[in-house]
């Protein structure tokens, strides 16, 4: 891999980091060493990089803010691509935003609020990138990206840049076209909001932040809610009623504040965290015959 990384550097397409601990780039603060992380400068550089990786049969994955991933402790022998340089944002018309995939979602929510635009309040506590949020159809408070995304600029598997309209994105609860077609890469989203009152929007964001502080273990590394809420119920309730709230394994714990969070409370390994996720899933399935869907993606566990 060393010689391949040298060749990638010679392409002059952006910053390259070698042998990086994935604890640096995931919100769980766990994971093995990644052989190479590349930060392409723009779409042309991204295309050049992927063309090279495909020609060399090197596995690769797009990594956003690492807020919905659990990497194993094994070395990741491929290349991770971070679109942090894709960070342009433009407000246009009266209610629209054109924003690149690497822009932080929370920051975008705050910018919209300051401009008196409503519709992004739900995202004020979601620590992901715009691209990751579109991919996951991230949401909260009975809203999600599918309600506000007008169209998405993507890179296709054959390295063409096209636009997908909202209907083509097939947004559903924590799901999108991109999740089912991971070879498509979100480059940019056009978001349509509504005019609102700045003070009222900021008050909603403030109140929700207070509720999160009171009800979620924000002081510890985690990846947010582990499971989707089953229809008509709450994953946290099912886990708590199964007697697992506060359950520890190694340095990981099912939060005693909110049972749908697994936290890294004391130098946990990825395996500690996965053990508790699997335990919660299997126990709830056994006790209630509810097959809870895991929101997070397990990477490099084969």
Q: What is the pLDDT of residues 234-279, one digit of tens each?
A: 999 999 999 999 999 999 999 999 999 999 999 999 999 999 999 9
pLDDT at 142 over 90: no
Query: Do residues 93 and 75 both lie within one domain?
Result: no
Tokens matching residue 122: 């739900």
Band of pLDDT at residue 14, cut at 50, 70 and 90: very high
Looking at residue 17, what is its pLDDT?
A: 97
Looking at residue 174, what is its pLDDT?
A: 86
Band of pLDDT at residue 227, cut at 50, 70 and 90: very high
- Each residue's pLDDT tens digit, 164-197: 999 999 999 889 999 999 999 999 999 999 999 9
In the chain, % of residues over pLDDT 70: 100
Distances (CA, A) of 270 to 46, 197, 265, 274: 29, 44, 12, 6
Query: Do residues 167 and 237 both lie within one domain?
Result: no
pLDDT at 302 over 90: no
Please say which residue of 50, 82, 114 terminates a domain: 82
Report which secondary-structure segment, H or E, holds 15.
strand 14-21
* β-strand pairing of 297-299 with 194-195: unpaired
Q: Would 289 be classed as within a structural domain?
A: yes
DSSP 292: P
Query: Do residues 181 and 267 both lie within one domain?
Result: no
Looking at residue 99, what is its pLDDT?
A: 98
* Average pLDDT value for the chain: 95
Q: How many residues does the chain have?
A: 302
Q: How deeply is 110 buried, as exposed, middle or buried, from its count of CB atoms within 10 A (0-12, 13-18, 19+)? A: middle
Query: Do residues 71 and 103 both lie within one domain?
Result: no
Could you tell me which of 213, 220, 216, 222 has the C-alpha nearest to residue 262?
A: 222
Question: What's the CATH code of the domain at 128?
Answer: 3.30.465.10
pLDDT at 1 over 90: no
Provide the annotated active-site residues. Answer: 174, 225, 295
Q: Would 205 be classed as within a structural domain?
A: no
Query: Do residues 141 and 158 both lie within one domain?
Result: yes
Return the minimum-mean-pLDDT range out of 35-44, 50-59, 209-218, 250-259.
209-218
Q: Would 112 be classed as within a structural domain?
A: yes
Looking at residue 259, what is its pLDDT?
A: 97
Query: Do residues 228 and 165 both lie within one domain?
Result: no
The average pLDDT across 99-103 equals 97
Could you tell me which of 140, 264, 265 has the C-alpha nearest to residue 211?
A: 140
Distances (CA, A) of 98 to 65, 108, 280: 19, 11, 40
Question: What's the CATH code of the domain at 260?
Answer: 3.90.78.10
The average pLDDT across 279-302 equals 96
The average pLDDT across 48-59 equals 96
Q: Would 210 be classed as within a structural domain?
A: no
Please say which residue of 31, 53, 82 terminates a domain: 82
Looking at residue 194, what is its pLDDT?
A: 96
Band of pLDDT at residue 280, cut at 50, 70 and 90: very high
Q: Which structural domain range is residue 112 located in?
A: 89-200
Q: For residues 240 and 296, which has the higher predicted lDDT (pLDDT)?
A: 240
Query: Do residues 225 and 187 both lie within one domain?
Result: no
- Each residue's pLDDT tens digit, 150-159: 999 999 999 9
Sequence-ordered alpha helix ranges (H) in 129-262:
130-136, 145-148, 177-180, 198-215, 235-241
Q: Would 239 be classed as within a structural domain?
A: yes
Give exposure, 268-291, as e/b (b: 16+ Cβ within 10 Å).
bbbbbbbbbbebbbebbeeeeebe
Domain count, the chain: 3
Query: Do residues 96 and 124 both lie within one domain?
Result: yes
Determine the Cα–Cα distance for residues 225 and 139; give it in Å rounded to an integer.
Answer: 11
Please say which residue of 47, 82, 117 terminates a domain: 82
Query: Do residues 52 and 33 both lie within one domain?
Result: yes
Query: Do residues 227 and 137 both lie within one domain?
Result: no
Residue labelled with tokens 């929510």? 109
Question: What's the CATH code of the domain at 78?
Answer: 3.30.43.10
Query: Do residues 104 and 195 both lie within one domain?
Result: yes
Q: Would 208 be classed as within a structural domain?
A: no
Q: How deeply is 59 buried, as exposed, middle or buried, from its count of CB atoms within 10 A (0-12, 13-18, 19+)? A: exposed
């Amino acid at each position: 891999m060393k010689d391949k990384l040298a060749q990638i550097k010679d392409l002059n397409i952006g910053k390259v980091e070698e042998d990086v601990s994935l604890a640096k780039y995931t919100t769980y603060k766990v994971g093995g060493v990644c052989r190479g992380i590349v930060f392409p400068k723009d779409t042309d550089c991204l295309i050049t990089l992927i063309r090279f990786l495909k020609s060399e049969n090197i596995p690769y994955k797009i990594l956003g803010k690492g807020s919905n991933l659990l990497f194993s402790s094994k070395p990741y022998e491929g290349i991770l691509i971070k679109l942090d340089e894709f960070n342009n944002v433009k407000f246009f018309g009266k209610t629209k935003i054109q924003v690149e995939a690497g822009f932080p979602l929370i920051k975008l929510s705050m910018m919209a609020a300051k401009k008196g635009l409503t519709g992004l309040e739900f995202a004020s506590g979601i620590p992901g990138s715009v691209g990751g949020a579109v991919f996951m159809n991230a949401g909260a408070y009975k809203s999600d990206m599918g309600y506000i995304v007008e169209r998405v600029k993507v890179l296709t598997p054959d390295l063409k840049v096209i636009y997908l309209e909202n209907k083509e994105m097939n947004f559903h609860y924590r799901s999108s076209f991109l999740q089912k077609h991971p070879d498509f890469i979100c480059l940019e989203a056009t978001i349509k909001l509504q005019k609102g009152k700045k003070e009222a929007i900021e008050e909603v964001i403030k109140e929700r932040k207070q509720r999160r502080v009171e009800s979620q273990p924000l002081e510890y590394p985690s990846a947010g809610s582990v499971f989707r809420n089953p229809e008509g119920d709450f994953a946290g309730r099912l886990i708590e009623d199964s007697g697992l709230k506060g359950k520890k394994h190694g340095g990981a714990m099912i939060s005693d504040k909110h049972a749908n969070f697994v936290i890294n409370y004391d130098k946990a390994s990825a395996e500690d965290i996965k053990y508790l996720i699997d335990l919660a899933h299997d126990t709830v399935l056994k006790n209630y015959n509810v097959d809870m869907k895991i929101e997070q993606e397990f990477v490099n566990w084969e």
